[in-house]
Structure 1
Amino acid sequence: MTKVMKQFLRWLILGGTLFFVTKALKDNWAGVTSIKIDAAGWAILAIATGVTLLAHTWAGWIWTWVLRDLNQPVPSIPFVQAYLKTNIAKYLPGNVWHYYGRIMAAKNANVSGGVATISVLLEPLLMAAAALMIVVVFGSQLAVSQTNFSLRILQFVILVVILCGIHPWFLNPLIHLLYKLKNKKSPNRNQSQVTINLERYPFRPLLGEVVFLGMRSLGFILTMLAIYPINLSQFPLLFGGFSIAWLLGLIVPGAPGGIGVFEATAIALLQNRFPSSVVISAIALYRLISILAETSGAALAWLDERSVKSNS
């Protein structure tokens, strides 16, 4: 019954978000089709695609940092290649196949299954923490009143909670719990117990994820800039809006790759600050740019891997 309810909830969320996006597109279709992209705009879109591809490559590098913080001195290049090749699988139903692919790639590189699993669980956790940090810093740009002192206090408290929540004092018990749950489900109950600990605060991976979100946000801002003039003063607003939409796309179930949830959230947050037709067009273009960047990353990683093997 619980499984049926989960499936129903996923389809309900996906259906609701797609309905919202479709309705917004229908209501603003005339404005969307009237938007023209000149030569400079196409050049900016190409740069946005390159920035987004760089962001995914950077995220693969951060995964190696997470593994090293778990005492696994893995080589960087093969793991970045594995990350890029598996990234496109997040659009498959279930939204877990990219994680499964990374676990298998790590196990094939002689990383224990427990450490591999914990690493792919920590990565989105750090991504979410980084997104929350950006939302706390820039999210007030989306509020009606940005001078509310109590709002500033609340933001500071949330930021402190986030930074404390990823401290090894709190993360290590969670890691041990997840590892025990994994071992209970494992058919090999007699396997030796391996101690998995974060020995230091994951400052470098966390800072890396902040840079990752910054690059993803920049890709979106460039996409907006390709079709609509943006002032520098509007960048914090777009950083905050993109981070909230991206975070919800990451954590809300039933949305492979965040499709639907990201779009609906971004439209709801930004349509009152920019023309609705511009927001919808930019979001649609950025989704295409993201898929193109992820597909290109997977293809380039595969070609590079093949080239290395043929030359060895």
Structure 2
Amino acid sequence: MNIKLKQILRWVILGITLIFLANALKDNWLGVTAIRIDKVGWAILTIATGVTLLAHTWAGWIWTWILRDLNQSISASEFIVVYLKTNIAKYLPGNVWHHYRRILALKNANVATGAATLSVLLEALLLAAAALITVVMFGRRFAINTNSWSVRILQLLSLVIILVSIHPRFLNKVISFVYKLRANKSDTQSEAAFSVERYPLRPLLGELGFLWIRGIGFILTLFALMPVNMSQVPLLLGAFSFAWLLGFLVPGAPGGLGVFEATAIAILQSRFPSAAVISAIALYRLISIIAEAAGAGLATLDERLAK
């Protein structure tokens, strides 16, 4: 029953986002088709693609920081390659296959299953925290009603819950409980438990950097189509982070596909020309996929050359 409900929910979310996007495109079709990109614009879009690829490479490096904080001796370069190779799998139905492949790669490298799984979970929590920090910082600039007390309190409460949940005191208790539960249920000898020794502050700041680098890629994409003032950067960075966070959290949206676009359009279309916003968001999705595919391709090539 739960599986059926999840499938229905995914289709409902997909249907709503597609209707919204189709309606936005219909209302602004003439403006979208009238947009032309000159040589300078194409150069800026190329830079945006490179910046987005840099962001994903940076995220892979942050993942190795998390593993080191979990006392796992791994090769940073090897697992940056793993991260880039598996990143494109997030677009597969289910939105979990990139996580599964990373855990499998870690297990093949003799990393404990618990540490491998926790590294993936911690990365997701740190990404959510980084996005919430950005939203809290720049949420007042949104065109939607994010400056009301109720919304601000909800944002802050969610951020506090995540920041507390990744504290070693809380994490170590959860880890200990899970290992005891596994030991009671299994007759075989379980792997040795481990503990988190320090708060993952450095990875959290790193994930904040990842999100902001990706935000710069999005801003460059919009800048290729229309002028952008420096005073508008905080709004764009906050809107990008909020849209990215919803795409990250909402089920049934592999890679945030559809949810990110619909949210970004809803926030930005009242502040910028709708046709430019729709075009920039569509271009940015294409840029993201190209950057992720290029990262996976380069990582695979590097791996083969190494062998």
TM-score of the superposition, structure 2-length normalised?
0.93
Cα–Cα, structure 1 residues 2 and 63, in superposed 2: closer, same or farther, change >3 Å?
Answer: same
**What CA deviation, in whole Å up to 9, does each residue of 1:158-198 have, x standing for no partner?**
655553343212233344456667x48x9x65132422321
3-state DSSP class of the match of 1:227? Answer: coil
In 2, Cα distance between the equivalents of 1:88 and 1:155? 29
Contact 1:133 1:162 in 2 (8 A): no
Which has the higher mean CA deviation after the structures are superposed, 281-290 or 1-10? 1-10
Contact 2:17 2:262 in 1 (8 A): yes
Q: Which residue of 1 aligns with 2:228?
A: 230
Contact 1:224 1:282 in 2 (8 A): yes
**What CA deviation, in whole Å up to 9, does each residue of 1:6-37 have, x standing for no partner?**
11111111111111111111111111111111
3-state DSSP class of the match of 2:71? Answer: coil
Count of aligned pairs between the two proteins: 307
Identity of aligned residues (%): 66
Q: Structure 2 regions of 5+ residues with no counterpart?
A: none
In 2, Cα distance between the equivalents of 1:175 and 1:143? 42
In 1, Cα distance between the equivalents of 2:293 and 2:175? 32
Cα–Cα, structure 1 residues 17 and 161, in superposed 2: closer, same or farther, change >3 Å?
Answer: same
1:73 aligns with 2:48: no
Cα–Cα, structure 1 residues 160 and 257, in superposed 2: closer, same or farther, change >3 Å?
Answer: closer
Contact 2:226 2:276 in 1 (8 A): yes
Q: Which residue of 1 aligns with 2:116?
A: 116
Contact 2:14 2:252 in 1 (8 A): yes
In 1, Cα distance between the equivalents of 2:232 and 2:177? 43
1:302 aligns with 2:307: no
Q: How does 1:132-211 map to 2 (within 5 A)?
A: 132-142=132-142, 160-176=160-176, 183=182, 189-211=187-209
Q: Which residue of 2 aligns with 1:218?
A: 216
Which has the higher mean CA deviation after the structures are superposed, 155-164 or 64-73? 155-164
3-state DSSP class of the match of 1:73? Answer: coil
Which amino acid in the other structure matches residue 95 of structure 2? Answer: N
Alpha-carbon RMSD:
2.4
Contact 2:247 2:259 in 1 (8 A): yes
In 2, Cα distance between the equivalents of 1:145 and 1:25? 24
In 2, Cα distance between the equivalents of 1:238 and 1:109? 40
**What CA deviation, in whole Å up to 9, does each residue of 1:95-130 have, x standing for no partner?**
111011101111111111121111111111110011
Pairwise CA distance, 1:155 = 6.6
Q: Structure 1 regions of 5+ residues with no counterpart?
A: none
In 2, Cα distance between the equivalents of 1:278 and 1:305? 40
Q: Which residue of 1 aligns with 2:265?
A: 267
Pairwise CA distance, 1:244 = 0.4
Contact 1:49 1:292 in 2 (8 A): yes
Cα–Cα, structure 1 residues 278 and 178, in superposed 2: closer, same or farther, change >3 Å?
Answer: farther
